[in-house]
Structure 1
Amino acid sequence: MSLPIILMVAGCILMAVSFFFSTGNKKLSKEMEDLSITVFQETNALKKRLRIVEEELLLEPQFQVKKPQQKSSSFAMPTTYTEKPIHDILKSQVMALQKQGLSIHEISVRSTLTEEQVKSVIANGGR
């Protein structure tokens, strides 16, 4: 036999064999599709849970630090007051927000501290 005939016969045999193995590929692709669907469903469920938690956190009352009121008089005297100590949770929140690259003003708004308090927490390294 000549080489082209041998190659043609081998090609026909390989094509016939490939039909038998295509069912294995179909099973594998079906399993992959099922897996991707379950991952998608689980991801959506986690996103819904996260959205619920975020909404619950946003519903908490916004605590604001009140600034001292000055007495209305003809001349304004500077008022001095002692600031309450800043809680450790707020300090860690300020440090985390600072690591995220937020500005002093943004940290002040999010942490309900004054900008001076935020600057002092950052200067002290959260201590």
Structure 2
Amino acid sequence: MKYNIIGRKVNLRDNFKERVYKKLGKFEKIYSEDAEATVTVTLEKNRQTVEVTIRDGAMVYRAESTALEMNDALDVVVDILGGQIRKNKTKLSKKMKAETLEQYFLENRSDDEETMQEEDYSVVRTKT
């Protein structure tokens, strides 16, 4: 994953950059090497805003948080991104599972129709 760390109206220290690498590093196993993470830190009066955007192919994950300390905002952003990734992962797995089940039923339905056509049932009604 490629990192792009931008500071607007604030000078970023090396320990914050290392913290960004450490926090976002746990997402590297999910994304390909071509994924790009853009971290933007903005200072507004006494608030600091951290925005993180991760692009991997067609997928885009974005989170933003504002706090008094940029480290606190970064922690919140990482939690939000983790939730988004988890949600998308379960959504994709359910979709893949549903597609495979649907395909299985379509393949087996033709076999069931043949057996039903072979067996002829006659319904006898009696009045009691």
TM-score above 0.5 = no
Q: Which has the higher helix share?
A: 1
**TM class, shorter-chain normalised?**
0.3 to 0.5
Greater CA radius of gyration, 1 or 2? 1
The alignment's TM-score, normalised by the length of structure 1, stands at 0.40
More strand by share: 2
